[in-house]
Structure formats: structure tokens, C-alpha cells
Homo-oligomer: A and B are copies of this chain.
Amino acid sequence: MTRTAQIKHALTTTREGDFAQWYQEIISEAEMAEESGVRGCMVIKPWGYGIWERIQKLMDAEIKAAGVENCYFPLFIPLSYFAKEAEHVEGFAKEMAVVTHHRLVSDGKGSLTPDPEAKLEEPLVVRPTSETVIGAAMARWVQSWRDLPLLTNQWANVVRWEMRTRMFLRTSEFLWQEGHTAHADRNDAMAETLRALEMYRAFAEGPLAMPVIAGEKPENERFPGAVATYSIEAMMQDGKALQAGTSHYLGTGFAEAAGIQYQNREGQQALCHTTSWGVSTRLIGGVIMTHGDDDGLRVPPQIAPQQIVILPMLRDDDGDAALLAYCEELRAALAKQLALGEPIRVLLDKRPGKATQKRWAWVKKGVPLILEIGGRDAAGGQVSVLRRDRLWRDDARPNFIAQARDAFIGQAAGELAAIQAALFDEARARRDANIVRGIDSMDALAKFYADDRRYPGWVELGWSRPTGEALEEVVTRLKALKLTIRNTPMRGEPVSGTCIFTGEPAVERIYVARAY
């Protein structure tokens, strides 16, 4: 199209051109994060961290509303704790940071070295997740049925030594919340597992404007030691799936390993049923790959650190004072409005620099609304409004729309809500358009995912839910196509037909996709 060709996008890499490079460029140009110099660890910069703070604030309110109480548990876990739950340690043993010394000494050559005199008797593992150490606490806290359910959560950093890292998606250290709960029986624990899953679904589709499919992971993708693992799965713009949150029903395995038991109403000792559930800074990677475009990030208003940025077009002359006064009044008026249930977050950007340069910096950061105010706007009681999700006019110019100041103030909340909804609708339409049904053989599946199809999306299949070795065989065949089973949707309609893997009657639906 001629029109598109004329647009000079703010990023140098397009999604179509090189999706992975485009992702890195957004993170860099939107000043969200950067490599730290420490292997696999990133520095989260103010705009990226601001989005995480918004996620924390809104998610924390949901967690508290469910009666879950925040605690804080140790960063270090003694090695022996891990040995208790056999399957669990199998799943994690390969990728943990191990503290072996508690002191450094000079090596006599001007450098430092771990002090051999200060070797720990028992090495400590930097937590990759906290089931074991929280389980030990729960064993102390739970005595009677009256203590149940025990509902805890922590916001913390965790470390999983990753060989190949990608910012926000897979880093050695990341930030997350981990909910851990103990219950009297399976029903209650399963209800909590599914409550957390539904909380994540609603959160992804609400504040993050990111459509997801909530469902159960296949047996081979379960959390180490879990009886059942559920996930929300989101489709990125390259058609790949991102597991964006998980919730696990752990049965009584962890309770047995840690000794979490209670006296029931009949006076007998019984093991608790436990759950755990978490989302992490990975969500930010999902937001980028769901909403970013060739001009940078587009942040859904509910999680935008700033929802509106006001850029005064300063001229270093006598008119600047009046212009700034006008902008400050505008800022104050907007900050008094409620949008999406909270006061509007609006920034008057008075930093030195050219307004155009600053505009593009904010476009790349993805602030939902940008207001450019010149002397004439101020004099005429006007504002010039740029909606980040409608950036370009047909003539390939930025789509600024002049509005009367008071009219804009009155509409700002509605505009932000509209952007929130538009981003979700756009992502959902894309997701729905890229789920393919009706593939009826492994050959057809292989053909669908042949190399020339760049962003092929997901395939929805009916399958016979094989287990054990039969499942392993399916997993291997899919792996050859670089595919994985994402999940079985919670609200699956009844299926008919034959499983393309086993030839047996299909019993439920699954999604198959390439994944992050």
C-alpha cells in the first residue's frame, strides 16, 4: 500500500522484518530494561518498572480481596529442603544458584576470593520458587482444621539459572508473586487453584488487555511435583504462545514432605492439600508482544505509569511562562478526573529538549494519550491530542486532533477506557483469526507448520488425552515440528472425531503451538 509506505515508523525494525529484533528494540527504545553486565540478569528501568508497579498494585488488590495475606520468606533455602520432595527437586535441580561461602578474602593478588575458612556446612540455594521453605512454615502454623484454609502470598525475586535468556521472558533473576495455600481437602484446594487461575485470566484480559486461554497443562508440562497445573496462554503477534501465569494443585505431596498436617473435626491427623500460583515480570514481555507496533510499545491505560503526557512546545521566549501555566492548569484538571476507577495519571513533561523529539520518545514508550500544546493552543483554549493506538493519518502524518480544552478534559476518562477496550479487541480479533481448526492428521499438522509459514498461529485439536509413554511419544513427535501442547481450555465445548496422535476417539480439546 502506498499509504503505509509513506509512514516513517519510529522503530528501525518492523515486526514483519525481524520479530525478535523488534522486541529487543522496543525494550531498548522505550527504556524499559537493559542488560546489566551480570549474566542473565537485567536492569529494569523506570518505565519498565513503572509498568510492574502498576501490575503489582492491581494484582495485589485482587489477591488481598480473596483473603490471601502477604508474608515474606527467606531468599535462601537449605539444600536438604529440596531433597524432600523427589519429583520437585528433579524438575529444578539443573538450574539453581548455589551459595557455598559466607565470606571473601584477599587472594594476595589484589583480588578477592571466597574464603576457604568460611565454607558453609550446608550449601544454600537461592530460591527458584518457595514451596519447600513455605511448606516448612506452614507445618508450624497449621495445627487444627480451624487454621485452614491458610492463604499466603509473597512478592519476591527468584533465580533460575537459564542458559539462553531474553529480557522479561526468561531471565536468571525475575520478580514475581507466588501464592501458597493449604487446605483441608482436595475440593477446597482445587477451588483455590481455579480461583487463582480465573483471577489471572481476568487480570490478563482486564488491566493487560491481553486475551488468554485458561486451561489445564498436559501431564508432561506439570510443575515438578504437582498433581495438576493450569495456565493462561496468550498469543503473541508472531503467532507464538506465551505461558503468562500458572496455578498448581499440589495434592498432598508437598504437605507430606514438609509435614503440613492438621487435626480434623473428628480429632484425627490428616495431611493438607496445597496449591501454588504465580505470575512474573514475564507479563511485561507479553504486553510488549501483544500491543507493541512498529512505532514502539502501546501500554494499556490501566497499567500505564503515565496515561497522558502533556508536551508544552517551549520556545525559550517570554511566551513560555503563560504556556506552562496553561499546561499546569490542564494537568491539574486532568489529575482530578477518574478513569478506569482511578485518578488519571498525567505528566507535564517540562524537561529541556525539542518537543518533536520528546513526542517520539513518548510514542515509543507507548503512553496512551499525548497532548502537544503550543502558544496558539494556550491562547485559544485548545489542546492537540494524539491517541497512541491511532497514530497515523491517511496522509502518513501523526494523527493529532485539535479539541477544545474543556471538552477534552470531560472526555479524557472515556477516551482512556476506549483505548483500553480497543487494545483488547484488536488483540482478541488477531488471536481468534489465528487459531486454526479442522486439521485432521499429523501430516496436515506438519504441512500447516511448514517453514514458509512465518507466523502460523495455533491449532485447536481434539485428542484422546494419552498419558505416560503414549503422551511422551506425542510430545516427541510435536517437538520435531517445534510444537508444544499449550493447554486444554477450561470451557471446552464437547468434542467429537479422532485423536490425530493416537487414532482413538477425542475426549477433549487442546491447543498446539510454538511457544516462548
Q: Give chain A's interface residues, CB within 8 Å of chain B.
A: 34, 36-38, 41-46, 49-50, 52-53, 69-80, 82-83, 89, 93-106, 110-114, 123-126, 133, 136-137, 140, 146, 152, 156-157, 159, 161, 173, 175, 352-353
Contact = CB atoms under 8 A, between A and B. Distances in A.
A99 B99 contact: yes
A112 B93 contact: yes
Contacts of A103: 93-96, 98, 161
A98 B93 contact: no
B124 A75 contact: no
Contact of A137 (B36, B89, B94, B113): B36
Contacts of A105: 93
Contact of A104 (B72, B125, B352): B125
A89 B69 contact: no
A241 B89 CA distance: 45
Contacts of A123: 101, 113-114
A74 B112 contact: no
Contacts of A98: 99-104, 114
Nearest to A44: B72
A97 B76 contact: yes
A386 B482 CA distance: 66
Contact of A95 (B89, B102, B111): B102
Contacts of A34: 137, 140
Contact of A102 (B79, B161, B352): B161
B99 A97 contact: yes
Contact of A133 (B36, B70, B157): B36
Contacts of A46: 69-71, 152
A305 to B, nearest CB: 10
Nearest to A159: B75
Nearest to A47: B69
A75 B114 contact: no
Contacts of A41: 74-76
A136 to B, nearest CB: 6
A38 B72 contact: no
B173 A76 contact: yes
Given A97-B124, A105-B93, A112-B93, A43 B72 contact: yes
